[in-house]
A and B are shown apart, each in its own frame.
Chain A
Amino acid sequence: MKAIRRLRRNFEHGVHPAHHKGQTENLPIQRVPFGTEYLMPLGQHIGVPAQAVVVAGERVQRGQLIAKPGGFVSTGLHSPVTGTVRDIGDFRGVDGRFAPAIKIEADPFATQKVDANAALDWEAMSLEEFIEAVQMAGIVGMGGAAFPAHVKLSVPDGVRIRHLLINGAECEPYLTTDHRLMIERPEALLEGAEIMRQKLGAEDTFIGVEMNKPDAIEILNQHIKPGDPVHVVPLKVKYPQGAEKMMIKSVFDKEVPPGQLPRDVEVNVNNVGTIVAIADYFLRGMPLIERVVTVAGPGVTYPANLIVPLGTPVRDVVKFCGGLKPGSREIIMGGPMMGRPIASLDVPILKGCSGVLVFTGEQTARQKEYPCISCGRCLEACPYFLNPSRLARLSKSRMFDEMKDYHVFDCVECGCCTFACPSHIPIVQLIRTAKDDLANRKEPDA
């Protein structure tokens, strides 16, 4: 009976892009050498930007707090290197807009070692102290959304978290950071999971891993001691298996209603990288100052999985990987399904950046758009059971208000519809346009 339930563990719809993970899935994580200049945007998480607590000219240590949380939905920021603060001001960010950031020049003679004796006594902490510690450590969701981790920990009274779900699906093609973390640092992952589970008061921990990572599933199972309340759940390989609501559906067969959070079905979901960051902070005193980044794609000379200090310019990372191949036309931060294109190689690696993918002419060739023939492939792709065909038509006619009747705000912009469209209609882009317009529209004065 249990086996049958396990077979049925899945969410409906979704798409099957080629994985393209072969480039990097077997490459051990390596560390990039320290560079010279680092740029730390104050708003690299969802929510309120952090507030700088250093001034230009000040000397900072690697791991030292350089900005404090600017509010509750905000996190601390730490210097990725030992060096000197050069400038605090507006710099062009990943999205092309100017935003405040701290520029730090690395000290070429520093050892760049973090004080390793600063483990925290997390067991003695109250929940409030623990949440504050996570906030100060600057830990955010490392899967791409960069949502502050402590916000998810603070559940209102009366809400109980029964299950901790760790997201190791990594359903985006090309990316292999969570895969390598699970293989190389299973102890840290399980330690971090135990800290989270105890602090949340959850009964058990589930680790969801797509079945195209059998080595990770095996290694995790080897490290789980008998009797530990930890279960590794192999999941069908399907995009977007790693979207948290999809994974909750797959693992627990529960649907989180639109506008509600995983906690409303008694689950807390965290990415593998986030959990490892928790372990690194509470057991080794290391705040979030670096992360694992997959550098891959057809335009990269030597694809790699790298530990990159935050704030490192993409240019340095790409240079370490042997530079760009001729014909490279587009660079995506994140995965190819939901990532962002960057306009300049000088933008920094941020907390939420799981990959730097370089694409060549072939993938980026503009394809001719045909009219929608209502074939329904987007309906069969949409994991939220929306009607993307209708939404795209309405958006093209700029009938944004009517789109609300078709639940446009339930769209999570996973891109399945655009992937599936045989007419090459930029459906998810049209939906984004409408959402942006509706959200930023100024109501006429009453």
Chain B
Amino acid sequence: MKNRDPDLLLFHAPLLRQGMTTPKAMRDVLYALLPATLASLWFFGLSAALVLGACIAGAVLAEWVFADRAERGESLRDASGILTGLLLGLTLPPGLPLWMAFLGGVVAISLGKVIWGGLGHNLFNPALLGRAFLLATFPIAMTTWVPLTGDGGFFDIYPSNLALPFMQASVDGMTSATPLGMMKFEQEVTPLVNLAFGNTAGSLGETSGLLLLLGGVYLFLRRDLDWRIPVSILLSVAIFSLVLTFFDAARFPTPQFSIFSGGLLLGALYMATDPVTSPVTPKGAWIFGIGVGVLVVLIRVFGGLPEGVMYAILLMNAATPLIDRYTQPRVFGRGGESK
């Protein structure tokens, strides 16, 4: 009797796996962002491609430099570096100097991800951390909004893009205000149609609400995102805004304006749903989403900034471990316990 047949493996059950893998899930998000990315090229021309490219280059380079030597190729293959770069790029103003965009990509990966221990270990969304860094470091460049490309066509680059490193871009009067800025500082409402289709000034990816929603539906169908998070964010923003309009309809934005303006859809569908930095429990997802929604409205309406999505998500990211801890699901057969 043989004790062991040499050719037999002893992998433990279950041997079957469902088909989804983590790199596939990352790539799905890239596909979902494709329509909005193409829209940004349509609206802002080659500048959009350059800014996005600079962010992705910075992110991928940081990923490569900081990766363990043995795993260099592998860490790029899971596509999370590219995704972070793209997400960061979509939150930036189209006229941002490219060297800043590149630096943002490097910071997003190095301080947003690698320093925590790599994929899956970071507390804050890397792309938003990169953006927060840029906003704190280059406040003027980060809030200078250029108008949509006019008659110059696709190859008309905003001159500020090409500013030399460590030089501030010259603001040459060719600026425009975002719908949120106009709302906050001039009480001027942008028509909803423009918001939904994206012909407004703003960050690269936040202008076209409908295309962002389209990608979100794709992710939902692929079961790549926790639907509770975007649903609870959008609902809480809508309800909070609605309640405010009862007090002063002229001063506070309508719910539909709140949802389609600024980076809310981009943040709610692609940033807040980052599985790593959002709660893993179903109940936690609701709390997280409501928290983000309420913070967004609070910052936008009562805070000093016109836009609050980034800080709202980052703040709730910080609360995620705590939320997870106190929202463990009710275990089968243990009635009444923490449900």
Q: Check A341 against B331 for contact (C-beta < 8 Å).
A: no
Q: Check B18 against A340 for contact (C-beta < 8 Å).
A: no
Tell yes or no: A224 within 8 A of B by CB. no
Count of chain B residues near A, Cβ 8 A: 47
User: Given contacts A337-B16, A346-B2, A385-B329, are A376 and B334 in contact (CB under 8 A)?
Assistant: no
Q: Which of A91, A385, A424 has the most CB of B within 10 A?
A: A385
The residues of A that contact B221 with a CB separation of less than 8 Å are: none
* In the bound complex, CA of A12 to CA of B8 (Å): 36
Task: From A92, A173, A390, give the contact of B3 (CB < 8 A).
Answer: A92
Tell yes or no: A47 within 8 A of B by CB. no
Expressed in whole angstroms, the minimum distance between the Cβ of A13 and any Cβ of chain B is: 9
Task: From B15, B74, B119, B328, give the contact of A373 (CB < 8 A).
Answer: B119
Q: Check B118 against A345 for contact (C-beta < 8 Å).
A: no
* In the bound complex, CA of A389 to CA of B280 (Å): 8
Q: Check B24 against A422 for contact (C-beta < 8 Å).
A: yes
Q: Which of B2, B10, B11 has the most CB of A within 10 A?
A: B11
The residues of A that contact B18 with a CB separation of less than 8 Å are: 15, 17, 419-420, 422
Q: Check A419 against B16 for contact (C-beta < 8 Å).
A: yes
Tell yes or no: B335 within 8 A of A by CB. yes
Residue in A closest to B337 when the chains form the complex, CB atoms: A407
Tell yes or no: A258 within 8 A of B by CB. yes
Expressed in whole angstroms, the minimum distance between the Cβ of B114 and any Cβ of chain A is: 12
* In the bound complex, CA of A258 to CA of B7 (Å): 40
Residue interface mask B163-201, A partner, CB < 8 A = 1: 000000000000000000000000000000000000000
The residues of A that contact B15 with a CB separation of less than 8 Å are: 330, 332, 336-337, 359, 363-364
Task: From A329, A334, A341, A420, give the contact of B7 (CB < 8 A).
Answer: A329
Residue in B closest to A368 when the chains form the complex, CB atoms: B74
Expressed in whole angstroms, the minimum distance between the Cβ of A393 and any Cβ of chain B is: 9
Q: Check B14 against A255 for contact (C-beta < 8 Å).
A: no
User: Given contacts A330-B8, A422-B24, A428-B14, are A343 and B328 in contact (CB under 8 A)?
Assistant: no
User: Given contacts A344-B5, A379-B282, are A373 and B17 in contact (CB under 8 A)?
Assistant: no
Tell yes or no: B275 within 8 A of A by CB. yes
Q: Which of B2, B5, B278, B280 has the most CB of A within 10 A?
A: B280
* In the bound complex, CA of A92 to CA of B5 (Å): 13
Tell yes or no: B332 within 8 A of A by CB. yes
Tell yes or no: A256 within 8 A of B by CB. yes
Tell yes or no: B307 within 8 A of A by CB. no
* In the bound complex, CA of A85 to CA of B324 (Å): 60
Interface residues of A in 319-341 (CB under 8 A from B): 329-332, 334-341
Interface residues of A in 329-377 (CB under 8 A from B): 329-332, 334-346, 359, 363-364, 366-368, 370-377
The residues of A that contact B285 with a CB separation of less than 8 Å are: 376
Interface residues of B in 318-339 (CB under 8 A from A): 324, 328-335
Q: Check A419 against B14 for contact (C-beta < 8 Å).
A: yes
The residues of B that contact A340 with a CB separation of less than 8 Å are: 12-13
Expressed in whole angstroms, the minimum distance between the Cβ of A423 and any Cβ of chain B is: 5
* In the bound complex, CA of A429 to CA of B12 (Å): 7
Tell yes or no: A287 within 8 A of B by CB. no
Tell yes or no: B206 within 8 A of A by CB. no
User: Given contacts A330-B11, A345-B5, A422-B20, are A245 and B282 in contact (CB under 8 A)?
Assistant: no
Chain A residues touching B, majority SS: loop
Tell yes or no: A386 within 8 A of B by CB. yes
Residue in A closest to B278 when the chains form the complex, CB atoms: A374
Q: Which of B11, B16, B285 has the most CB of A within 10 A?
A: B16
The residues of B that contact A359 with a CB separation of less than 8 Å are: 15
The residues of A that contact B14 with a CB separation of less than 8 Å are: 336-338, 415, 418-419, 428
Tell yes or no: B132 within 8 A of A by CB. no
Tell yes or no: B121 within 8 A of A by CB. yes
Expressed in whole angstroms, the minimum distance between the Cβ of B293 and any Cβ of chain A is: 20
Task: From B8, B21, B121, B333, give the contact of A341 (CB < 8 A).
Answer: B8
Residue in A closest to B14 when the chains form the complex, CB atoms: A415
Residue interface mask B236-270, A partner, CB < 8 A = 1: 00000000000000000000000000000000000
Residue in A closest to B26 when the chains form the complex, CB atoms: A373
Expressed in whole angstroms, the minimum distance between the Cβ of A161 and any Cβ of chain B is: 19
User: Given contacts A373-B276, A407-B331, are A426 and B12 in contact (CB under 8 A)?
Assistant: yes
Residue interface mask A122-142, B partner, CB < 8 A = 1: 000000000000000000000
Expressed in whole angstroms, the minimum distance between the Cβ of A417 and any Cβ of chain B is: 9
Task: From B5, B16, B22, B25, give the contact of A173 (CB < 8 A).
Answer: B16
* In the bound complex, CA of A185 to CA of B231 (Å): 52
* In the bound complex, CA of A340 to CA of B12 (Å): 7
* In the bound complex, CA of A340 to CA of B15 (Å): 10
The residues of B that contact A332 with a CB separation of less than 8 Å are: 13, 15
The residues of B that contact A432 with a CB separation of less than 8 Å are: 12
Q: Check A373 against B275 for contact (C-beta < 8 Å).
A: yes
Task: From B23, B25, B331, give the contact of A258 (CB < 8 A).
Answer: B331
* In the bound complex, CA of A420 to CA of B14 (Å): 10
The residues of A that contact B282 with a CB separation of less than 8 Å are: 376, 379
User: Given contacts A370-B78, A372-B120, A424-B21, are A330 and B333 in contact (CB under 8 A)?
Assistant: no
The residues of A that contact B328 with a CB separation of less than 8 Å are: 387, 406
Tell yes or no: B1 within 8 A of A by CB. yes
User: Given contacts A371-B118, A385-B329, A387-B281, are A424 and B8 in contact (CB under 8 A)?
Assistant: no
Q: Check A341 against B10 for contact (C-beta < 8 Å).
A: yes
The residues of A that contact B329 with a CB separation of less than 8 Å are: 379, 385-387
Tell yes or no: B63 within 8 A of A by CB. no
Task: From A363, A370, A374, give the contact of B23 (CB < 8 A).
Answer: A370
Q: Check B12 against A341 for contact (C-beta < 8 Å).
A: yes
The residues of B that contact A229 with a CB separation of less than 8 Å are: none
Residue in B closest to A173 when the chains form the complex, CB atoms: B16
Tell yes or no: A410 within 8 A of B by CB. yes
Residue interface mask A213-246, B partner, CB < 8 A = 1: 0000000000000000000000000000000010
* In the bound complex, CA of A258 to CA of B337 (Å): 13
Q: Check A387 against B280 for contact (C-beta < 8 Å).
A: yes
* In the bound complex, CA of A341 to CA of B5 (Å): 12
Beyond A367-B17, A410-B332: 6 further Cβ-contacts under 8 Å? A257-B335, A331-B8, A340-B12, A370-B119, A375-B280, A387-B328
Q: List 18 A-B contacts (CB under 8 A).
A: A258-B333, A330-B11, A332-B13, A332-B15, A338-B14, A341-B9, A345-B5, A345-B8, A370-B119, A373-B25, A374-B278, A375-B280, A377-B20, A386-B329, A410-B332, A418-B14, A419-B16, A422-B22
5 closest Cβ pairs, A-B complex: A371-B120, A415-B14, A257-B333, A375-B275, A370-B22
